[in-house]
Structure 1
């Protein structure tokens, strides 16, 4: 079994480096071939690694005394980030020392650094953030979750291909069902970009996924499709709305069971089922947003996640690396007409846009 090296920004996140090292040990149980490169303060990381038996023969620490803060602006991170734990983790992917990087640090800084060091893949105009959402049928993939506020039809088509490849790698689906998020399911609904993307996908022969057309917001939780494609503006709102609704339902249930002595007794009887529900909706199970469309793999973990959540983010990185995700995307996109014939944005424009933000 060939080793798979994951670079970890060990100083990023609210609970670094302890939770990150513990998460790596949990991930090693699922992926015994994984080796870790921890970038950060060796004096803090080494004792933690030593305390994890599963990491005794598969962890290397690369010392750096500097890290990017949670409130660092992307432009500032680009100018001052060289040599930080986040920068070195992404640089390891660029140089081929690692096959993927995982960080729980500053999202904007991570996107800017990853795009600067890895660049977008050929035939990809804009990268996207993809992650899982819970549904009545299991899990679905959703993208973009905030990397691009506005998108044209070419961007949405690329997201569809990337999302389908992500679902194949992470969910084991041979031919995922893909739909575009819209305000209705009729062909005439939606803006020009959404309708244009739908037409382009319908006109593309031999798609490596099943394109089902449009999906409305209420269809996401129903699990109507495996991949939901959107621009980053609508996608981020949809994701946050779903997360807020899950918390609302939990709060309502808690209030209901506190209402009377009888409801409290009912809680005791329902406790096992409620615990199962809590675990099913636990956001740590779905932790990890992959930056798709780069010449390398980078996964962003939520900054406040626990060890189980960080292990989930490492799992996403490992699944994508083992599937040959980057190469597969390039092969799949050969089916679509060149970007300049569709009006797509010139490659590299987004990198410049992010780098200029401060």
Structure 2
């Protein structure tokens, strides 16, 4: 089997490059047919890597794209940034996939403008995997912010790619596809959603109809498709709500006297199970579907564990060759 190569932007994220190098070394031990290219400050990366140089190559870069940088301007002006050089290596075929924890907009711009769109895909979509309450499988949601405006055809293509991903990468048989809307009836929503409903209904997908926002975590669908504006707002709301609830739960257990603390101790196992259920690290990062190579972005605050899971995710995408399948499917459709 051909050796796979993952290009890693080692300078993106709050814990870079330490957490990234640690994750690469851990994943490397489990992935004997995978090589890694680390892009960033050479001296620092060599120091962190030590003698663990087998199947790991350092590519020295002199710039970093920061969170406050304007994405498109940054990829055009910071030509020697770790993200841009890594994307160029993927474009040139020197690496097979791109992984970064950096500026989300710059990662999307690098995927679309440097690596390039798959022929037949007019707009790529950004897709994370999110948890549900009744299983460990989670669900895919696309698009969560790559596109401010959408057309019905975009939603259909995103649904096709996400369903294929759910089946091949996450092992979901006949993924249930739903359209995020403001009601269950087929005539709900604006023109884009009504037309998207008809396209999805007429497709070969296992389309189960509309799903409302309050049902997302119930596990009714394996893939939820939506426009990028709505998807981004929903994603931020879910993340913010989860963070607030965890904070309030901790504060309530720690600050309400002796007996509440005893109750918390007795409930420790249940609380751990709850935390595990909504552990999003194990799902990896968000995938930009519709570009010529896997481009995966994980949270800027990700630690070594989260980056490790994302590396495993990227490797699985490469092994399943889903990009090649997309090129064949949508190239023919074009």
Question: Into which bin does the TM-score normalised by the smaller protein fall?
Answer: over 0.9
Q: Which of the residues 234, 238, 244 maps onto 1:242?
A: 238
Identify the residue that residue 291 of structure 2 maps to in structure 1.
294
Measure how far apart 1:29 and its partner are. Answer: 4.4
Measure how far apart 1:152 and its partner are. Answer: 0.9
Work out the CA distance in 2 between the residues paired with 1:167 and 1:313: 15
Indicate whether 1:203 and 2:202 are aligned: yes
Identify the residue that residue 346 of structure 1 maps to in structure 2.
none
Structure 2 length as normaliser, TM-score?
Answer: 0.93
Work out the CA distance in 2 between the residues paired with 1:110 and 1:256: 39
Indicate whether 1:151 and 2:150 are aligned: yes
Question: For the Cα contact (< 8 Å) 1:77–1:113, is it kept in 2?
Answer: no
Work out the CA distance in 2 between the residues paired with 1:78 and 1:44: 23
> How big is each residue's C-alpha offset from its partner over 1:77-118, in whole Å with a ceiling of 9 and x where there is no partner?
132122221111111111111110101111111211221112
> How big is each residue's C-alpha offset from its partner over 1:128-159, in whole Å with a ceiling of 9 and x where there is no partner?
11011000222111111111122110111111
Measure how far apart 1:2 and its partner are. Answer: 3.1
Superposed, 1:40-189 pairs within 5 Å as: 40-50=40-50, 55-136=52-133, 137-138=135-136, 139-189=138-188
Across the two proteins, how many residue pairs are aligned to each other? 331
Work out the CA distance in 1 between the residues paired with 2:4 and 2:23: 16
Q: Where does structure 2 lack aligned partners over 5 or more consecutive residues?
A: none
Q: Which of the residues 275, 278, 282 maps onto 2:275?
A: 278
Further displaced range: 243-252 or 92-101: 243-252
Measure how far apart 1:335 and its partner are. Answer: 8.3
Indicate whether 1:321 and 2:321 are aligned: no
Further displaced range: 65-74 or 21-30: 21-30
Work out the CA distance in 2 between the residues paired with 1:276 and 1:201: 36
Question: For the Cα contact (< 8 Å) 2:13–2:299, is it kept in 1?
Answer: yes
Indicate whether 1:233 and 2:221 are aligned: no
Q: Where does structure 1 lack aligned partners over 5 or more consecutive residues?
A: 339-358
Work out the CA distance in 1 between the residues paired with 2:298 and 2:202: 36
Work out the CA distance in 2 between the residues paired with 1:101 and 1:270: 42
Q: Alignment partner of 1:299: what SS?
A: strand
Work out the CA distance in 1 between the residues paired with 2:172 and 2:277: 21
Work out the CA distance in 1 between the residues paired with 2:330 and 2:210: 21
Identify the residue that residue 9 of structure 1 maps to in structure 2.
9
Measure how far apart 1:334 and its partner are. Answer: 6.7
Structure 1 length as normaliser, TM-score?
Answer: 0.87
